Amino acid sequence: MHETIVVTGTYEPLSLDEIDRSITLLPIRGQGLVLNSLVDVLRLDPSVDVEARAPDGVQDDVSIRGSTFEQTLVLLNGQRLDDVQSGHHDMDIPVPVDAVSRIEVLRGSGSTMYGSDAVGGAINVITDPPETTELRLRTSVGNFGSNEQQGSLSGIFGSLDEQLSFSRDFSSGFMPDRDYRNLQLASSTHYVTAWGASDLTLAYMDHPFGANQFYGDYPSWENTKTWFAGFRQALGKKTSASFAYRRHSDLFVLFRDQPAIYANHHHDESFQAAVRRNENLFTNTELHFGVEALHESIVSTNISDGLEGPALGIHARSRAAVYAALDFRALKRFSLSLSAREEVYRDFSAEFNPTAAAGYWLSPRVKLRASASRAFRVPSYTDLYYEDPANLGNPNLRPERAWSYEGGVDWNPSQRWRGEVTVFQRNVRDGIDYWRASPADLWQALNIDNLHFTGIESSLRLTLSHSQTVDFRYSWLRGTQDTVPLGETKYTFNYPIHSGEVVWQATLASRVVVRTRIAALDRRSASAYALWDVNAAYTPGRVHPFLQMSNLTNTSYQELQGIAMPGRTVMGGVELVVRKR
């Protein structure tokens, strides 16, 4: 039986059965014809709430276990993609779907391992080396004036693996001023030397889109761009070093045809570096330790009534951290992990974030697990300094801090069945959100003293045959606060109380791959709705026709209040695959 290995939420690669935290693994490689974007993949986990403003990942907020979008950390191969301007841009992931092997989702606090922002959890997008030398080209068309082109070229040359990929999406929009274009280019290089593996990722994204309703009832337009370079080098079997650079720009125009009335232009950069090492202390006991550093900066200007001035202004900040983790595990019997991280930032202020996680096997088929962890988030520059006719930041905001607790059971009675149930609680101090007393007032950024979230997650997979599976997933969530008076908050209480789905995937007659998903969601601040998606592809040979259908019932719904989502969407196309013999 093939063992599933994960690298998120752990200091070394472990099998999914041995992980003591709540991890969801979402495979992508080989399934590109039955999904259209990374957002489609994340929707397969009901604990991950995708709050989209448009299809195809145009601009999405993502939360885990009822966190805000700012409290979810996005990673690319374990390196941070978070945006210091605003978490609205954290999902500007510059690599195409064809470049991605899988997504791993850590449900629960991750600040001990990853630092700031991982309050609700972390999403790790992973690009593994290619498995074969091949060329893939894909094109498709659909309603709403949509057309897409994607391609990748992969090569294996002894100790060197290389993959080049691109993606271009275009739509004239399902309503006025909701057109978009998305260009992604990426290169992934894997090289093995006498020292160990070297991995280099280079990526670029250009993303202009109509933003009608995104930030009020204005005919707005926005263009975001992302540049990313990440490098990791193994230094023997016990040590590794990594470095990454990310640059992001955001041009926002309030009135698309009259940019001189109001426009913001933000440029931010981040540099990150880490050195990690592990030591085998005793039998079944390992020590992991390391140091990390992060520097972030922003230059932000505004045009209002033809006059240029500062928007968020010019700012920079740095953080440094040291961590250590002690890991003991007797395979299929007992495991215990104790870890802690000290992070220094903002004039030597410090955050200490410990985590304890344990697992115990009642039998070869039943495992109990539990964990407790602390997390924090430093306010974004939008939280601190943003100001427009509808919103007002607060330079006196305090960092968010949270304790998370969870307990769960994993059940694997046979190769046909696999299930899990997790109960969790997160207590947040100084949560950051925008509040207003009435619709006539400004949204003002503030700290909420006490927030409490309690939830249940459950999943069950039935493997009907080697080519057919059915997944049942459900999550329940309840949030309370005891600080904010009468009025409304902008993001905190937009979470889904109930979220469930059924996903069936099969390969029929060894030729046709089919995936269908029926999902129902009941948000605290909106009416419940259900969505039905169906995707199918013919996979033998070199030419693969495919069909992707979303929202088949043509449901009217909103994932963010006041922002309409498209109705029934149909895309059809063909893929050409040429492999080296």
pLDDT at residue 469 tops 70? yes
pLDDT at position 216 = 79
Is residue 82 within 8 A of residue 71, CB to CB? The reply is: no
- SS3 state of residue 111: helix
* pLDDT tens digits, 370-417: 999 999 999 999 999 998 878 899 999 999 999 999 999 999 999 899
Count the neighbouring beta carbons within 10 Å of the beta carbon of residue 248: 25
* pLDDT tens digits, 90-108: 999 999 999 999 999 999 9
* Boundaries of every domain in the chain: 5-579
Instruction: Compute the distance between CA of residue 408 and CA of residue 121 in angstroms, rounded to an integer.
Output: 16
> CA of 271: how far to CAs of 122, 203, 319, 379, 489, in Å?
19, 15, 11, 18, 33
Place of tokens 């309409």: 564
Helices (H), 51-122: 111-114
CA 252 to chain centre: 23
pLDDT band for position 486 (cuts 50, 70, 90): low
Is residue 292 within 8 A of residue 317, CB to CB? The reply is: no
Instruction: Compute the distance between CA of residue 136 and CA of residue 153 in angstroms, rounded to an integer.
Output: 6
Is residue 520 within 8 A of residue 529, CB to CB? The reply is: yes
pLDDT at residue 309 tops 90? no
Count Cα neighbours of 555 within 13 Å in the Cβ-side half-sphere.
18
Indicate the average pLDDT of the chain: 93
Q: What is the pTM of this model?
A: 0.96
pLDDT at residue 84 tops 90? yes
pLDDT at position 347 = 62
pLDDT at residue 567 tops 80? yes
Rounded-to-10 torsion of CA 181, 187, 188, 194 = -160
pLDDT band for position 217 (cuts 50, 70, 90): confident
Instruction: Compute the distance between CA of residue 232 and CA of residue 553 in angstroms, rounded to an integer.
Output: 46
* pLDDT tens digits, 133-150: 999 999 999 999 999 999
* pLDDT tens digits, 149-192: 999 999 999 999 999 999 999 999 999 999 999 999 999 999 99
Kindly state the tokens that stand for 426. Answer: 């997160």
> Which of 140, 150, 214 minimizes the C-alpha distance to 177?
214
Count Cα neighbours of 568 within 13 Å in the Cβ-side half-sphere.
5
Rounded-to-10 torsion of CA 302, 304, 306, 307 = -60
pLDDT at position 1 = 43
Q: What's the fold here for domain 5-579?
A: Maltoporin; Chain A (2.40.170)
| Higher-scoring residue by pLDDT: 393, 510 | 393
Instruction: Compute the distance between CA of residue 234 and CA of residue 76 in angstroms, rounded to an integer.
Output: 17
Element containing residue 299 per DSSP (H, E) = strand 285-304
The pLDDT > 90 percentage for the chain reads 81
SS3 of the chain: helix, strand, coil, percent, to 5: 5, 65, 30
The average pLDDT across 480-498 equals 85
- SS3 state of residue 483: coil
